[in-house]
Amino acid sequence: MGASVKSHMDYAHELDLVVRPESSVPFLERELGYYVGSGFPLFSIGGGYFRHVLQQVLVGFHARRGYLIVETPILASSDLFKLSGHMDFYRKNMFVLDIEGKEYVVKPMNCPFHLLIFMSHLARYRGKVKLPFKVFEAGRVHRYEPSGSLYGLLRVRGFTQDDAHIVTPESDSRDVVFSVYEEMITLLDSLFNIKVNSENLYIRLSVSDKNLIGREFMGTVEEWEGAEGVLEKVSRHIEEAYKIRRSVGVGEAAFYGPKIDLMMVLKGEGGVKEWQMGTIQFDFNLPRRFKIYDAVKEIYGDLNVYVIHRALLGSIERFLGGYLEHFKGRLPVVLAPLQIAIMAIKTGEREVDEVIMDRSITLKSKLLEKGFRVALKETTKTSLSGDVRNIEYTMKPPIIAYMGAREVQRNSLTLAIFNYESFKRETETINYESMHNAADALESIVAAWEEKVAKIAGPVLRIPADLSHTI
Ligand code: ZN
């Protein structure tokens, strides 16, 4: 890698997404990183907008696909994790603490809570609970990782999973697994502008070693054969229908069940990188421990169910890191911390400059009223190119609006809009009668991007902010 290749943390820092602890200047930032500690990403102002909008898109997306939305606590009694088996098998990856002589853990996974919720629904609503039962949470988990293994956003101790658990009858399981795959490619395309194809995605099926079932792989041979049969069929179907590559790893399943992982292959400045994203995992361990099989049989009669863990992006932090590196810090417009930068290009002539400033300030306030994140920069013809270079280097707003003497004279606004396919800005001029019309025209440009997301997740949350101090 050349010295000019930026890491995802450079981009995260430029965009004000995350405070970079190892930053040498300015001094204050280094202090912040020091006090927060390693492995716990501190999302900054820009990161706050990114996360809140993303959270809302994820909730809207899953809710529209029949997932029930929950939120579970970060800390819980270790009894829950004894029941789930984590205290026996996963203890070394967990943060454990003592509160008034009682043992608590910081949750390393959301599953035990989601299964508790399923069991409580079953107890309360009995046969009215609809199967497949799907429960979603953007759940923040913490895992102990040695400090030496931490790396930016890619390897952290605290992260958020777009996590769901599905209890499905065996008969629905193929449809369930296939629909999870479709959810993943839909989200990547509509929200992140990633068109999935055989070049950039493959699926990895991990199955048991048949000789070790009952020893290294827990559960019965029937369970493994059933679940692996489902994953085998669905993965072949994906391979054919979407022309996606597929690899099979024998003996590579988790001890609790077989799985499909979705692997992204991205070619960027730093070479080819593979990064694991979504996962679909069967589990034969937790349902036994939570007595789910028995409870289902008691209520639904002789019905076999599978318990499935799944995440579409995986860890949001890791996903963001990979995304920033590959797309050079160009976030989609709905998630970009700064969406529109207004450049007020002053001339030195008082009367003209008054109009330029008046229109620029009015435009900014109208855009804020519409819910956008905007910034206004006063500049001059001579410093304009340096100022633009600077915002391309830092906040990278998808839209830059220029207001100068020419624009004032023509009642126009010059826009430079980032095109995510050509990866270049395209210039467009809009004419207006008042700044009200100009703001409407800008709104319709952003709305076209929002519309794509709205189709899969409902109206996009607009969180307005005046971020003028960042450019
Ligand atoms: Zn899980």
* Long-range contacts from 402-406, C-beta under 8 angstroms, 24+ separation: 402/343, 402/345, 403/342, 403/343, 403/344, 403/345, 403/356, 403/359, 403/360, 403/363, 404/343, 404/344, 404/345, 404/347, 404/356, 405/345, 405/347, 405/349, 405/352, 405/356
Asked if the structure places residue 3 within a domain, the reply is: no
Question: Does 167 share its domain with 62?
Answer: yes
Q: Is 6 a catalytic residue?
A: no
Asked if the structure places residue 334 within a domain, the reply is: no
- Token pair 């409902």 is found at 458
- DSSP 8-class letter at 458: S
- Give CA–CA dist 112/250, Å, rounded: 28
Domain end position, chosen among 297, 326, 355 = 326
Tokens, residue 206: 């991990």
Q: What is the pLDDT of residue 34?
A: 63
Asked if the structure places residue 24 within a domain, the reply is: no
Q: Is 134 a catalytic residue?
A: no
Asked if the structure places residue 21 within a domain, the reply is: no
Asked if the structure places residue 85 within a domain, the reply is: no
- Give CA–CA dist 442/425, Å, rounded: 15
End-to-end CA gap in the chain = 29
Question: Does 381 share its domain with 307?
Answer: no
Choose, from 111, 162, 283, 318, the residue flagged as catalytic. 111
Q: What is the pLDDT of residue 266?
A: 76
Q: What is the pLDDT of residue 421?
A: 87
Q: Is 111 a catalytic residue?
A: yes
Domain end position, chosen among 326, 359, 383 = 326
- What is the Å distance from ligand 1's center to 74 Cα? 15
Q: Which residues pair with 413 in a beta bridge?
A: 430
Tokens, residue 116: 């508790």
Tokens, residue 125: 């609503």
Asked if the structure places residue 289 within a domain, the reply is: yes
Question: Does 61 share its domain with 127?
Answer: yes
Indicate the helix (H) or strand (E) that contains 11: helix 8-14
Question: Does 310 share its domain with 399?
Answer: no
Domain end position, chosen among 271, 304, 326 = 326
- Give CA–CA dist 227/223, Å, rounded: 6
- What is the Å distance from ligand 1's center to 330 Cα? 31
Question: Does 200 share its domain with 161?
Answer: yes
- Give CA–CA dist 127/437, Å, rounded: 56
Question: Does 386 share its domain with 457?
Answer: yes
Q: Residue 44: helix, strand or coil by DSSP?
A: coil
Q: Is 86 a catalytic residue?
A: no
Q: What is the pLDDT of residue 326?
A: 87
- Give CA–CA dist 359/438, Å, rounded: 10
Choose, from 20, 134, 140, 309, the residue flagged as catalytic. 309
Q: What is the pLDDT of residue 21?
A: 65
Question: Does 142 share its domain with 165?
Answer: yes
The sheet that has 75-77: what strands, in order across it?
75-77, 102-106, 96-99
- What is the Å distance from ligand 1's center to 310 Cα? 7
Q: What is the pLDDT of residue 277?
A: 85
Q: What percent of the chain has pLDDT over 90?
A: 80
Q: Residue 187: helix, strand or coil by DSSP?
A: helix
- What is the Å distance from ligand 1's center to 280 Cα? 10
CATH for 450: 3.40.50.800
Question: Does 365 share its domain with 318?
Answer: no
Ranges of beta strands (E only) in 171-228 are 201-207
- Neighbouring C-alpha atoms within 13 Å toward the C-beta of 219: 28
Q: What is the pLDDT of residue 1?
A: 41
Question: Does 318 share its domain with 344?
Answer: no
Tokens, residue 403: 């207001």
Choose, from 107, 165, 310, 330, the residue flagged as catalytic. 165
Question: Does 268 share its domain with 345?
Answer: no
**Residue ranges, the chain, pLDDT below 70:** 1-4, 21-34, 268-270
Contact predicate 105/94, CB 8 Å: yes
Question: Does 315 share its domain with 350?
Answer: no
- Give CA–CA dist 215/413, Å, rounded: 70
Nearest to 139 by CA among 182, 106, 116, 175: 106
pTM for this model (two decimals): 0.94
Question: What's the number of domains the chain is made of?
Answer: 2
Question: Does 280 share its domain with 313?
Answer: yes
Q: What is the pLDDT of residue 271?
A: 74
- What is the Å distance from ligand 1's center to 309 Cα? 4
CATH for 295: 3.30.930.10
Q: What is the pLDDT of residue 45?
A: 95
Asked if the structure places residue 220 within a domain, the reply is: yes
- What is the Å distance from ligand 1's center to 228 Cα? 18
User: In this structure, what are the phi and psi dihedrals at residue 73, rounded to the nearest 5 degrees?
Assistant: -70, 155
C-beta atoms surrounding 3 within 10 Å: 5
Spell out the alpha helix ranges (H) of 303-410: 316-326, 350-369, 384-393, 405-410
Tell me which residue range forms the domain holding 146.
Answer: 44-72+110-326
- What is the Å distance from ligand 1's center to 307 Cα? 9
Asked if the structure places residue 351 within a domain, the reply is: yes
Please report, as a single letter, which amino acid is at residue 5: V
Instruction: For residue 385, count CB atoms less than 10 angstroms from its CB and return exposed for 0-12, middle for 13-18, buried for 19 or more.
Output: exposed
Q: Is 162 a catalytic residue?
A: no
